[in-house]
Amino acid sequence: MSLEQSYIDLYAANRAKLLAGAPDSLNQYRDAAMEAFSTQGFPAKKVEDYRYIDVRAAFDGKQNYSMLLKATPLTAIKGNPISVNNTELLNRYYNKVADNHDPITALNTALTQECLCIYLTKNQQLEKPIELNDIFAAGVDQMEHKRILIILEEGASAVLLLHYMTRDKYHYLATQVIEVFVGDNATLQLYELEETHTSCTRFNNVYFHMGRYATVKHNNISLFNGTTRNTIKAYLKGEFGEVTLNGCVMADKNQTVDNNTLIRHEVPNCTSHELYKYVVDEQSVGAFAGKVYVAEGAQKSVSKEVNQNICASDEARMYTQPMLEIYADDVKCSHGSTVGKLDEMALFYLRQRGIPLAEARMLLMQAFVGQVIDEIPITSLCDRLHIMIEQRLKGELDQCVGCARCNK
Where on the chain is the footprint of other proteins (CB under 8 A)?
A: 343-346, 348-357, 359, 363-364, 366-368, 370-371
Complex with other proteins: residue 138 or 275, whichever CB lies closer: 275
Q: List 69's β-bridge partners, or say none.
A: none
Amino acid 247 reads G
Complex with other proteins: residue 17 or 394, whichever CB lies closer: 394
Complex with other proteins: residue 317 or 384, whichever CB lies closer: 384
Please report how close the Cβ of residue 250 comes to other proteins at its closest, in angstroms: 14
In angstroms, the first-to-last Cα distance of the chain is: 33
Complex with other proteins: residue 61 or 395, whichever CB lies closer: 395
Complex with other proteins: residue 137 or 357, whichever CB lies closer: 357
Please report how close the Cβ of residue 285 comes to other proteins at its closest, in angstroms: 24
Please report how close the Cβ of residue 357 comes to other proteins at its closest, in angstroms: 7
Complex with other proteins: residue 352 or 407, whichever CB lies closer: 352
* Dihedral sign (CA 46, 286, 62, 136): negative
For residue 35, count CB atoms less than 10 angstroms from its CB and return exposed for 0-12, middle for 13-18, buried for 19 or more: middle
Which residues in 135-173 are b (16+ Cβ under 10 Å) and which e? ebebeeebbbbbbbbbbbbbbbbbbbbbbbbbeeebbbb
* Element at 217 (helix H, strand E): strand 215-224
Q: Which of 185, 136, 133 is nearest to 157 (CA)?
A: 185
Please report how close the Cβ of residue 342 comes to other proteins at its closest, in angstroms: 11
Please report how close the Cβ of residue 274 comes to other proteins at its closest, in angstroms: 19
Neighbours of 5 (CB within 10 A): 11
Please report how close the Cβ of residue 408 comes to other proteins at its closest, in angstroms: 28
